[in-house]
A and B are shown apart, each in its own frame.
Chain A
Amino acid sequence: MLLKKMSFLLFFLCLVTPTFSNNISVSSLDHAGEIARDRELREFQQAFQPGTAGYFAIGMHYLPFPTQTQLSSEYGTHDGFAFRHQMAAYFANPIGNSGYDLGILWWVERQGWDQEDFFVWPRYGEFSLVRSIHTTGATLALPKYHLGAAGGIQYQNVEKTAKIYADESDSLFWWGHATWGPTVVQTSFHEGEWRHVRVSMDLESKELWGGASHGWSTYLPNFDVGLFNGDGDDSLRISLEQNLWAQQLYAEVAVYYPEHGFRSAMLKYYPDASRIVSFDVTCFRLNNDDLVWGGGLTLPFLRVGYNHASDIENFFGSRGTFMIELRFALSSAKSGFFGLGAAKSAPMDSERVSKKLWDDSSKKATEADKKEITAKGIRREKSK
């Protein structure tokens, strides 16, 4: 019944969704590449905690109507489809008994705007922009001391860019990352010039990584400060995450300097501290100082949002339309499965139940073995 209701809700959203949507601007598509570069490294930062065994994520936005994400250019309004297809994979394994974990990672996002929708092969139309950003590298961690280091390359491949967009070419960045306890330092370079430096402090105590399960230390804030090289026009992104209640209710605030000041605020409620499901209420400040209120719901295989701050920031400023994302993202460590940035792993009831059943059945089997079976006599049947 619930699934029927959900299916109906999805179709309803699909039908009403194109009605009031806001157009996507050419400049927001121009800047989406650099935003994606930073997002991939920020996601990796959250995924790479010394002790993590792996992280896997896959997702695509489902926008069925060409009027949902129209493009505003100097010529007018173009019908078409903005798209973001993404995948992330990180696996780490212990090296013998040395205590070190060696890992590899690959984050990829294909994004842009095309005149027809597609899953693999774009149309590459006259006004299309198709680019992909790959972040790949290797990691080395020493979980016992909460130490970790990683490094690799980040490659942007411009598949198609039309005359309405700013000139853009393929580029290769180098990046490095180090973490020790709550502190993370991250940087990237392009042709010998630094592109970004990030310092973050996750002060909040998390049971998943050997911290407290409750108490004052779980209410410490998490800071993230990113400095970006704008060739003489540097900018700063500061974000803060604060546990408000039992590591299930969090507030997140992002501030940009020098251009925007306050950018977004989010209130996120996770029914379980493993962060696999969330309910969000968000507020995003536009360039003209207007505030856009929105919200969203994240489920294991689906995310629905309306005017969600992260959609406005990460999906080319798109708003006024329901965003449906088919997605899956899960981290794993020795203690179990969890979402990015979680404080605890998901309760694995199925494991406990199956173990109990197995114990019971094995007990019965041994009791049965003890019974003696004696033959009461031998009966011979005559053959006909």
Chain B
Amino acid sequence: MKLKLFFIFLFILALSGCITHVFVDGEVRLQIKNESDVSIARLVVLSANGGEDLWISDTIAPGATSRVISGSWVGSFDLGMSVEDSLGRTWSKVRFPSVSLDGGSVFAEISEKDGEWAFKIR
């Protein structure tokens, strides 16, 4: 009887190997809100060798939110974005190092205070 229970336990363990993904999401659906006073654009994931992968291409006006874009970026990554001047030209580039993202829906607010940019997940 005990052996039977042990095998049932092993079977459940094996089965859980293929049902965990019901609870663990393998993609992030990200929406960002611009809480700063200037327009921001082009949220990218930065690579160590200098490259970048575009995630959200929207230009977001102060107080506006972006579209919801899904990406496979579950984990910890360096994110980057462009800050635009009033003529829509790139003014500067901002880097958010080691941003931790869990799978599922993520709503983030980007704000600026005294020249320091912050990426906060709500």
Q: B-contacting residues of A (Cβ < 8 Å)?
A: 3, 6-7, 10, 60, 62, 64, 66, 70-71, 74-80, 115-120, 123, 125-127, 301-302, 326
Are B72 and A117 neighbours in the complex by a CB distance under 8 Å?
Answer: no
Are B98 and A76 neighbours in the complex by a CB distance under 8 Å?
Answer: yes
Write the chain B residue with the least CB distance to A85.
B17
Q: Which residues of B contact A60 (CB under 8 A)?
A: 14, 17
Q: Closest CB-CB distance, A68 to chain B, in whole Å?
A: 11
Are B17 and A76 neighbours in the complex by a CB distance under 8 Å?
Answer: no
Q: Closest CB-CB distance, A307 to chain B, in whole Å?
A: 22
Write the chain B residue with the least CB distance to A78.
B75
Number of interface residues of B (CB under 8 A): 33
A77 contact from B20, B53, B76, Cβ within 8 A: B76
A116 contact from B24, B46, B49, B71, Cβ within 8 A: B24
Cα A92 to Cα B63 in complex, Å, equals 74
B49 contact from A64, A74, A120, A326, Cβ within 8 A: A74
* Interface residue stretch chosen among B2-10, B35-43, B86-94, B108-116: B2-10
Are A74 and B26 neighbours in the complex by a CB distance under 8 Å?
Answer: no
Q: Which residues of B contact A77 (CB under 8 A)?
A: 75-77
Are A74 and B75 neighbours in the complex by a CB distance under 8 Å?
Answer: no
Are A3 and B2 neighbours in the complex by a CB distance under 8 Å?
Answer: yes
B6 contact from A3, A62, A76, A116, Cβ within 8 A: A3
Cα A3 to Cα B2 in complex, Å, equals 7
Cα A75 to Cα B53 in complex, Å, equals 9
Are B47 and A75 neighbours in the complex by a CB distance under 8 Å?
Answer: yes
Are A76 and B76 neighbours in the complex by a CB distance under 8 Å?
Answer: yes
A-B contact pairs, 11 of them (CB 8 A): A7-B9, A62-B14, A75-B48, A75-B53, A75-B73, A76-B77, A78-B74, A115-B72, A117-B17, A118-B18, A119-B14
- With A60-B17, A62-B17 known as contacts, the answer to whether A326 contacts B76 (CB < 8 A) is no
Are A76 and B75 neighbours in the complex by a CB distance under 8 Å?
Answer: yes
Cα A350 to Cα B15 in complex, Å, equals 32
- With A74-B47, A123-B26, A326-B10 known as contacts, the answer to whether A64 contacts B74 (CB < 8 A) is no
Cα A6 to Cα B10 in complex, Å, equals 11
B21 within 8 A of A: yes
Are B24 and A74 neighbours in the complex by a CB distance under 8 Å?
Answer: no
Are A116 and B13 neighbours in the complex by a CB distance under 8 Å?
Answer: no
Cα A116 to Cα B19 in complex, Å, equals 9
Q: Which residues of B contact A119 (CB under 8 A)?
A: 14-15, 17-18
Q: Which residues of A contact B14 (CB under 8 A)?
A: 60, 62, 119, 326
B16 within 8 A of A: yes
B45 within 8 A of A: yes
Q: Which residues of A contact B84 (CB under 8 A)?
A: none
Cα A353 to Cα B82 in complex, Å, equals 80
Residue picked from B13, B24, B51, B75, most chain A C-beta under 10 Å: B75
Are B74 and A115 neighbours in the complex by a CB distance under 8 Å?
Answer: yes
B74 contact from A10, A62, A66, A74, Cβ within 8 A: A66
Q: Which residues of B contact A74 (CB under 8 A)?
A: 47-49, 51
Q: Closest CB-CB distance, B47 to chain A, in whole Å?
A: 4
Q: Closest CB-CB distance, B56 to chain A, in whole Å?
A: 16
Are A80 and B16 neighbours in the complex by a CB distance under 8 Å?
Answer: no
Cα A127 to Cα B14 in complex, Å, equals 24
Q: Which residues of A contact B18 (CB under 8 A)?
A: 117-120
Are B13 and A62 neighbours in the complex by a CB distance under 8 Å?
Answer: yes
Q: Which residues of B contact A75 (CB under 8 A)?
A: 45-48, 53, 73, 77-78
Cα A213 to Cα B15 in complex, Å, equals 43
Write the chain B residue with the least CB distance to A10.
B13
Q: Which residues of B contact A10 (CB under 8 A)?
A: 13
Are B47 and A79 neighbours in the complex by a CB distance under 8 Å?
Answer: no
Interface digits, B25-61 against A, CB 8 Å rule (1 contact, 0 not)? Answer: 0110000000000000000011111010100000000
B21 contact from A7, A76, A78, A118, Cβ within 8 A: A118
Q: Which residues of A contact B16 (CB under 8 A)?
A: 64
Cα A64 to Cα B49 in complex, Å, equals 32
6 shortest interchain CB distances as A-B pairs: A76-B77, A119-B18, A116-B21, A115-B26, A126-B72, A78-B75
Cα A75 to Cα B72 in complex, Å, equals 12
Cα A80 to Cα B26 in complex, Å, equals 8
